[in-house]
Amino acid sequence: MTDTIPTLSSYDETALEAAFATLAEEVRTSAAALTTPEAQENFRLHWLGRKQGRLKLISDAWLKSAPPEARKPLGIRFNQLKQQIEQALEAPAAPIAAPKVQALDITLPGVIRTPGIAHPLLSTMHEIVRVFHHLGYSTNLGPQVESDFYNFEALNFPQDHPARDTQDTLQIANQHAKPSRDRLLMRTHTSPVQIRTMIAQAPPIRIVIPGKVHRNDAADATHSPIFHQIEGLCVDTNITFSDLKGTLDHAMKALFGSAVKTRFFPSFFPFTEPSADVQISCIFCGGSGCRKCKHSGWIELLGCGMVDPHVFASVTEERRKIDPADDAYNPEKITGFAFGMGVERIAMMLHGVSDIGHFYSGDMRFLEQFA
Ligand code: PHE
């Protein structure tokens, strides 16, 4: 800030105009730096100080030699200048933002992060798989987009089997140029992974296969076009239907409680012979009959059977493309059993869920009950 008193060349209107414009500019410039209380106080003293203030010094100097008629216009202009100075003090320039220090407020409530849980379908799958792990089974997985060969042909489904129909199976588009066995579809069951496992591996086999399957089904309270299955396969020497019965009876007791009974009904699957449907005694009424078991005392839960020799023949044909002498799945020497169960159905029974749609809705009010 300058301290010299500017000289006034004359007291006419233009000279005053020019002189005060220069002073106003000087005030504006020095007011631009008023970012701290100290700077404000210096600015105030510099311009308005009672004895040495620049405004007083200039007005004294200029008024002293002013002709009488110039006193009034001078006074008015000094007043305006004073107002400008006072305004600058009232509204100082915005202070330069101080570097932000992030304060930690230890009185704020903490952020609650609720830990996630396994989806009830996933935990049911884990539960079932664990029962079989304890029996020495391992786990295998397979693709959801599958070829006709693995899903149907190698499993002994005849060409015209109704399950192959588009009414039941979701076919991948534009497959007609391919030979039938290579046509792609969404797998309708986990059984194709039986074939994949046996082609890759010689007996003994004890394996469970959890996974998603797809069917061209309308959704209702108990059906969904996408659902989950767990497949089982056991192949070794001297595997009999008794082994199948004992294994599944144990598994159902492990899942639903030791009081549960099982019974096997003749059934049909192209890839097992003989085949059976397994029923368990109703877990809701203990077998005396209720609405849940349609008053029969029994609930049908899974399909199973002894591996059909045609399946071993398909597997052998594939394995011989790699090793023409392969005889690992000779049905004269080895036998096996397979089973398949729906995960949703078991989860609904275990947890008393009445609508399959709850599993897929993502509704937290439903899911939170499993936390
Ligand atoms: N794949 C059969 C189904 O989806 C179930 C099954 C598996 C039956 C293994 C027998 C043996 O219905």
Nearest CA to ligand 1 atom 6: 340
Q: What letters, b where the CB count within 10 A reaches 16 and e where it falls short, cover 321-343?
A: eeeeebebbeeeebbbbbbbbbb
Q: Which one-letter DSSP state was computed for residue 203?
A: S
Nearest CA to ligand 1 atom 2: 340
CATH code: domain of residue 359: 3.30.930.10
Partnered with residue 235 across adjacent β-strands are: 205, 336
Partnered with residue 207 across adjacent β-strands are: 138, 233
Tell me whether residue 310 is in a domain.
yes
Asked if residue 356 and residue 223 are part of one domain, the reply reads yes
Q: Could you tell me if the CB of 142 is within 6 A of ligand 1?
A: no
3-class secondary-structure state, position 257:
coil
Q: What share of the chain is helix, strand, coil (3-state, %, to 5)?
A: 40, 20, 40
- Give the per-residue pLDDT at 92: 59
Tell me whether residue 352 is in a domain.
yes
Nearest CA to ligand 1 atom 4: 189
Give the model confidence (pLDDT) of 111-146 as tens digits. 888 888 999 999 999 999 999 999 999 999 999 999
Asked if residue 166 and residue 77 are part of one domain, the reply reads no
DSSP H helical ranges for 171-282: 192-200, 241-256
Q: What span, in angstroms and rounded, lies between the C-alpha atoms of 272 and 305?
A: 5
Q: Could you tell me if the CB of 305 is within 6 A of ligand 1?
A: yes
Asked if residue 60 and residue 22 are part of one domain, the reply reads yes
Q: Could you tell me if the CB of 272 is within 6 A of ligand 1?
A: yes
Nearest CA to ligand 1 atom 5: 340
Q: Could you tell me if the CB of 311 is within 6 A of ligand 1?
A: no
Q: What span, in angstroms and rounded, lies between the C-alpha atoms of 207 and 199?
A: 14
Tell me whether residue 366 is in a domain.
yes
Give the 3-state DSSP-derived string for 60-86, with helices as H, strands as E and coil as C.
HHHHHCCCHHHHHHHHHHHHHHHHHHH
Of 74, 90, 106, which residue constitutes the final position of a domain? Answer: 90
Tell me whether residue 110 is in a domain.
no
CA of 188, closest atom in ligand 1: 4
Partnered with residue 272 across adjacent β-strands are: 269, 307
Nearest CA to ligand 1 atom 9: 339
Phi, psi of 280 (to 5 degrees): -115, 155
Asked if residue 124 and residue 80 are part of one domain, the reply reads no
Q: Is the CB of residue 53 less than 8 Å from the CB of residue 47?
A: yes
Q: Could you tell me if the CB of 30 is within 6 A of ligand 1?
A: no
- Give the per-residue pLDDT at 273: 98
Q: Which of 150, 168, 189, 241 to mutate to test the pocket of ligand 1 (most atoms within 8 A of CB)?
A: 189
Q: Is the CB of residue 250 less than 8 Å from the CB of residue 217?
A: no
Tell me whether residue 265 is in a domain.
yes
Which regions in the chain score pLDDT beneath 70? Answer: 1-2, 92-99
Q: Which of 227, 269, 345 to mutate to test the pocket of ligand 1 (most atoms within 8 A of CB)?
A: 269
- Give the per-residue pLDDT at 14: 87
Q: Could you tell me if the CB of 303 is within 6 A of ligand 1?
A: yes
Asked if residue 131 and residue 80 are part of one domain, the reply reads no
Phi, psi of 214 (to 5 degrees): -135, 135
Asked if residue 296 and residue 241 are part of one domain, the reply reads yes
Asked if residue 219 and residue 165 are part of one domain, the reply reads yes
Asked if residue 265 and residue 136 are part of one domain, the reply reads yes
Q: Which of 191, 205, 223, 344 to mutate to test the pocket of ligand 1 (most atoms within 8 A of CB)?
A: 191
Q: Could you tell me if the CB of 156 is within 6 A of ligand 1?
A: no
Give the model confidence (pLDDT) of 178-226 as tens digits. 999 999 999 999 999 999 999 999 999 999 999 999 999 999 999 999 9
User: How many separate domains does the chain show?
Assistant: 2
Asked if residue 161 and residue 76 are part of one domain, the reply reads no
Of 75, 90, 105, which residue constitutes the final position of a domain? Answer: 90
Tell me whether residue 287 is in a domain.
yes
Of 69, 90, 111, which residue constitutes the final position of a domain? Answer: 90
Asked if residue 334 and residue 251 are part of one domain, the reply reads yes
- Give the per-residue pLDDT at 270: 96
Instruction: Write the Ramachandran bin of 120: left for phi over 0, alpha for psi from -120 to 50, otherwise beta.
Output: alpha
Full residue range of the structural domain in which residue 47 is found:
13-90
Asked if residue 43 and residue 136 are part of one domain, the reply reads no
Tell me whether residue 209 is in a domain.
yes
Cα of 116 from ligand 1 centre, angstroms: 33
Q: Could you tell me if the CB of 244 is within 6 A of ligand 1?
A: no
Tell me whether residue 96 is in a domain.
no
Instruction: Write the Ramachandran bin of 302: left for phi over 0, alpha for psi from -120 to 50, otherwise beta.
Output: beta
Nearest CA to ligand 1 atom 7: 340
Cα of 132 from ligand 1 centre, angstroms: 17
The structure tokens 């305006």 sit at 80
Asked if residue 50 and residue 124 are part of one domain, the reply reads no
Cα of 275 from ligand 1 centre, angstroms: 9
Q: What span, in angstroms and rounded, lies between the C-alpha atoms of 367 and 132?
A: 26
CA of 304, closest atom in ligand 1: 10
